[in-house]
Amino acid sequence: MTPYGNIGTEDIKNWFSARGRLYTRSQVRNRTYIPRPGDYLSLFGGNHSALFLRWVDSTSTISDSTRFKTLEGNKDETVKVVTRRVSDIDRVGKDQ
């Protein structure tokens, strides 16, 4: 169950927060919550959104430089898979 309709990044973050399913970058780094495929990502201080696909690097320890793959749109008029780093994360919305 996730939000639907014409919504923006702030709307999505509020939706996950209201359901107790919003996590911070600090919580990812300390492994309180480890993103899973399908999770919503707010990136760059909330200026961009993406869906988490998979980890590139091991999650046995997570630092700002740990890499992962995302599915993103609204970038160069395409939808594509992008490699990001934990330092790019603002918030994570748990999909289930």
What pLDDT sits at residue 2? Answer: 63
What average pLDDT does the structure give for the chain?
Answer: 91
Residue 53 has pLDDT above 80, yes or no: yes
Q: How many CB atoms lie within 10 A of CB 25?
A: 18
User: E strand or H helix at 13, and its extent?
Assistant: helix 9-18
Report which DSSP code applies to 60: S
Domain ranges of the chain: 9-93
User: Per this entry, what is the length of the chain?
Assistant: 96
Strand partners, 51: 40, 71
Rg (CA), the chain: 13
pTM over cut 0.75? yes
